[in-house]
């Protein structure tokens, strides 16, 4: 588990904490959620919400709820009751921002595409925060990719301009730290909306279409969305491209 007291001390000296995760459906995506100053606060708030929701015994018979009590917040398996609460929480939470890279190329294996996306994403994050003394990178465990993460980070760091920060690579289980769940939800919420863009209104007000509303709820915390095929789709400092 992450040592919260140590993390709080590190924040005071400028340490950056970055949660990283990947998804293969409905798009191959990788995401990074960065906590610059509120790492402990965000993790504590998520843990408190998790504790509250796991006390809802009326959902105990649901298979998805059993997964939730074991693994915490994960959009692909959470029930609507859980996901709606977490999206609402994220819509008002502060202290983090996210980066998303994705690809629609089906000609390359999913693992190769994921590693390529991670290389570009990590390079972007390290370049942006290169003046910080220490960057902690928390990868969610993936048996197929774990062995590549340290080498991937080292390779990405080579192309970062000086000053170069110290990097610590940590491979963690789900919800350790809880910031990993923010990355999971932000990345998959975008992917679901983007994949369905051509089959629904881009800013749907339908009472049965949650894809746009959920994405819109999280959009303010997204610093960058970039496609390998189409380039930058969204950047916080620039207007959205027509698709967004």
Q: Is 113 domain-assigned? A: yes
Give the model's pLDDT for residue 206. 52
Give the model's pLDDT for residue 13. 76
Give the model's pLDDT for residue 196. 77
Give the model's pLDDT for residue 168. 96
Q: Is 2 domain-assigned? A: no
Query: What's the gap between Cα 160 and its chain centre?
Result: 22
* Helices 4-12 and 39-54, packing angle to 10 deg: 150
Which residues are 18's β-sheet partners?
A: 34, 137
Q: Is 244 domain-assigned? A: no
Sign (positive/negative) of CA torsion 92, 238, 229, 33?
negative
Give the model's pLDDT for residue 46. 97
Q: Is 231 domain-assigned? A: yes
Q: Is 43 domain-assigned? A: yes
CA atoms within 13 A on the CB side of 230: 12
Nearest partner of 178 among 50, 15, 54, judged by Cα: 50
Q: For tokens 């040592």, name the residue.
A: 3
Q: What does the pLDDT profile of the chain (244 residues) look like in tens digits?
A: 665 555 555 555 789 999 999 999 889 999 999 998 889 999 999 999 999 999 987 777 777 888 899 999 999 999 988 999 999 999 999 899 999 999 998 888 999 999 999 999 999 999 999 999 999 999 999 999 999 999 999 999 998 888 888 999 999 999 999 999 999 999 999 999 888 764 455 555 554 567 888 888 998 899 999 999 889 888 876 655 555 5
Q: Tokens at residue 96, please?
A: 């983090």
Check which CATH number belongs to the domain holding 117 and give it: 3.30.420.10
Q: Tokens at residue 155, please?
A: 């390779």
Q: Is 5 domain-assigned? A: no
Q: Is 171 domain-assigned? A: yes
How many angstroms separate the CA atoms of 207 and 213, rounded?
10
Instruction: Work out the angle at residue 91's Cα, subtended by the Cα atoms of residues 44 and 232, and round it to the nearest 5 degrees.
Output: 110
User: Containing domain of residue 65, as a range?
Assistant: 11-235
Give the model's pLDDT for residue 56. 83
Beta strands 134-140 and 222-227: pairing type?
unpaired
**DSSP assignment of 182-203, as one string?**
HHHHHHHHHHHHHHTGGGS-TT
Give the model's pLDDT for residue 198. 47
Q: Is 243 domain-assigned? A: no
**DSSP assignment of the chain, as one string?**
---HHHHHHHHHTT-EEEEEEEE-SSSEEEEEEEESS-HHHHHHHHHHHHHHHHT-GGGTT-HHHHHHHHH---TTT--HHHHHHHHHHHHH--S-EEEEEEE---SS-HHHHHHHHHHHHHHHHHHHTTTSSEEEEEEEP-TTTGGGHHHHHHHHHHTSPSSPPEEEEEEE-TTSSTHHHHHHHHHHHHHHHHHTGGGS-TT---TT--HHHHHHHHGGGEEEEEETTTEEEEETTSPPPTT-
User: Domains in the chain: how many in total?
Assistant: 1
């Amino acid at each position: 588990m992450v040592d919260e007291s140590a993390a709080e001390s590190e924040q005071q000296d400028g340490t950056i904490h970055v949660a990283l995760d990947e998804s293969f459906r409905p798009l191959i995506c990788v995401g990074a959620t960065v906590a610059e100053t509120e790492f402990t606060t965000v993790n504590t708030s998520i843990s408190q919400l998790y504790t509250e929701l796991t006390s809802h015994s009326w959902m105990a018979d649901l298979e998805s709820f059993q997964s939730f009590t074991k693994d915490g917040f994960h959009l692909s398996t959470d029930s609507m009751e859980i996901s709606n609460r977490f999206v609402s929480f994220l819509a008002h939470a502060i202290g983090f921002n996210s980066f998303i890279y994705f690809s629609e190329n089906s000609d390359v294996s999913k693992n190769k595409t994921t590693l390529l996306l991670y290389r570009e994403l990590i390079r972007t994050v390290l370049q942006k925060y290169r003046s910080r003394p220490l960057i902690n990178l928390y990868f969610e465990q993936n048996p197929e990719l774990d062995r590549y993460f340290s080498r991937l980070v080292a390779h990405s760091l080579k192309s970062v301009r000086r000053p170069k920060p110290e990097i610590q690579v940590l491979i963690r289980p789900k919800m350790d730290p809880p910031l990993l769940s923010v990355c999971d939800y932000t990345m998959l919420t975008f992917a679901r909306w983007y994949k369905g863009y051509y089959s629904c209104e881009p800013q749907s007000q339908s009472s049965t279409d949650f894809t746009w509303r959920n994405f819109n709820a999280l959009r303010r915390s997204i610093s960058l969305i970039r496609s390998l095929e189409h380039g930058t789709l969204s950047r916080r400092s620039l207007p959205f491209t027509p698709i967004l």
